[in-house]
Chains A and B, each alone.
Chain A
């Protein structure tokens, strides 16, 4: 690949059809590499443009920026679960199936729609009910 062409931040923003602030944000959050050189001598290469286009591609595919960061770090193989930042407040759904039986999940991390969550819980409840009824018949 020809990495010799030098671009400014304006150039790569224009090439990727993104606002400058957005490009800067991607660099600040590590989605796109920092420029070569510093100060007035800073420049970007085609690698940066490619990175930008990749982020855009994943975004259009519906991934969050956090998730894109993980995808980019792990280009092949299964994705590791997203690490949680300390101090983050998470909202977990708890379903009490019966006394002593509880299912806990975070639908967004599990990638489940509300409908799927309900279907899942319904299934769990049915299985449990079946087990219970089976015991009673014994």
Chain B
């Protein structure tokens, strides 16, 4: 294909060794099995080492690695990490070919392809399984394709750290087969154009085009009937048997929903530019709309700095909601870096010791060193409900923030239904909390994992695994959830044999799955044993393939390093770019169409809160903003109070309420700076009061005259 031929060469003339990625997936009753094949080719006159860091779903359990090189097909083995690294180095040094697959962090992997000779091809095939995570009747199948630019230095080695380039466009092809009970389900793909063919025994989903740019997550939403969503299966595990259960508890007839104390935290960092910030605004719209009288809330936006709309939680009055809406409207991805840790710290201070306060966080999660943040949030004791947005969300981070605090995570790509997900989060937050969650496995069970079940919400999936020393299991597995309001929900599942083509294996896929769950609870020594026994990639183990070359065919030199760059995530630079590149490969674009040499993002610095300098945010009307700021500054606390009581007396409750908000702002000591929204709202209050006949003070009228602000202008902000 011409497009992939263009993508072969980066703008510097270096060859991109990765030529294609093909994805084939099979969706069974219980889980998805995904096989990915990365094709590499060395078009250079020297031997090279291709290094490609790539994302996988966080829940993916890698099952196999196979390398086809020099006409041979070699199976990967799982080796202790240090030993694997040594063997890989030895092979590279002696001129042999070597492939090493390592896990950098949850959801992030690096493929090392050492010593690819000139004109040589390598095809690397790996497969993973993933258990479904049902939410109500919905399942979201997610295949990430690129790593968006993350904030801060990468904590990984320089050869592993992902780098993205606008000059490179990697491509993938995809085909999915849906078998068994899911074949009657409903499918929608919000990320790509796909074609769907329903056959007698299966449904086939494939990309409409032969290939697509790897610039966004692939998402397939599945809606299916309840019958096919819960299950328990077992499979051989050496001399015993291992089992996996996937529950979906429903709590019938929820009682009085809880009023919320909610801090809404919105990521306005540069990486949110484009689709993501639009999604965040949409989310905010839904959030503010879902608040009820009786709830209390606060709004916090962050980037490099943190900007709180209020200093504390405020009641959900119509006026406060309006202020929040206005605040939301003016948000832009212009606050610089993603200092999410600091933003959460500010949020905790704002929440103080309010026990049951929750945090609703909207972010793309693009932070390099996210693991320390995910550790830190455990201590605060507030649940974090996350909405992960964007075309290439950092799944691991937004999921971990939620799961480690007892919250839940919703990933929402552009063109997915935001309102539905926000409502879902509100249902979770308002629901009575689970006080006791127990999974009862039949007699003889051991090594139940995870050893602590996190939060359990109505209609969400709960997974548990266990091992048995015997070869048969007697009786069902039971989930029991007791809520804080005293209700008990019970779900019982019969355990059946897993349908498996490789039943002769002493260690079944189910057993490897169960082992991968145990890994998460284990320390280095135990984890290493488990990972080696069950052939799992882990923080302590890598996949490795060594292809020895015969004498005379060995590479003679240290290979040239060719890092495979990430394709820039869709929309993250400027809207419209990706529409363009879908037709024209980036490298073939005329210079006029896209300034490849230096693309700058216009990023007004959101410095007002930090410095007290009154910088207008929008370049379009800066002088006017300064004028309005002067005007608002001129209104004293007393005058806001007078406007408020005058409006109340004369039958303008909204105006009165709004003026109270400003009196409060003034009382809180805020004189130096206001957000753009606040400015416009303040101006509209003054105009309304003025036009209704309230006599503004001379000082205020004087500033208005001096700043050329017409208070008689019709109100439209």
Contacts and interface: CB of A to CB of B under 8 A. Distances in A.
Tell whether A and B belong to one assembly.
Answer: yes
Interface of A: 9, 19-22, 24-25, 27-29, 34-35, 38-39, 42, 65, 84-99, 102, 104, 114, 117-118, 121-122, 125-126
B12 A85 contact: yes
Contacts of B10: 87
Contacts of A102: 619
B205 to A, nearest CB: 32
Contacts of B557: 34, 38-39, 42
Given A20-B89, A87-B12, A87-B166, A29 B561 contact: yes
A9 B556 CA distance: 14
B222 interface: no
Interface residues of B, number: 57
Q: Which 10 A-B pairs have the closest CB atoms?
A: A87-B167, A28-B561, A87-B165, A39-B556, A96-B619, A86-B11, A38-B556, A20-B89, A87-B11, A92-B600
Contacts of A89: 149, 164-166, 568, 573, 599, 601
A81 to B, nearest CB: 13
B146 to A, nearest CB: 13
B49 interface: yes
B11 A65 contact: no
A38 B605 CA distance: 53
Interface stretch (B53-61, B371-379, B609-617): B609-617
Interface of B: 10-12, 49, 85-86, 89, 92-93, 95, 149, 157-159, 164-168, 270, 304-305, 336-337, 554, 556-561, 565, 568, 573, 596-605, 607, 610-611, 613, 615-619, 621-623, 626
Nearest to B610: A118
B604 A96 contact: yes
Contacts, number: 124
B558 A24 contact: yes
B613 A91 contact: no
Given A88-B165, A96-B622, 10 more contacts: A21-B89, A28-B558, A88-B598, A89-B573, A90-B600, A93-B604, A95-B604, A96-B616, A114-B337, A125-B613
Contact of A94 (B166, B598, B602, B610): B602
Contacts of A95: 604-605, 607, 615
Given A86-B167, A94-B602, A102-B619, A122 B49 contact: no
A125 B616 CA distance: 11
B417 to A, nearest CB: 30
A117 B561 contact: no
Contacts of A121: 605, 607, 611, 613, 615
A21 B568 CA distance: 27
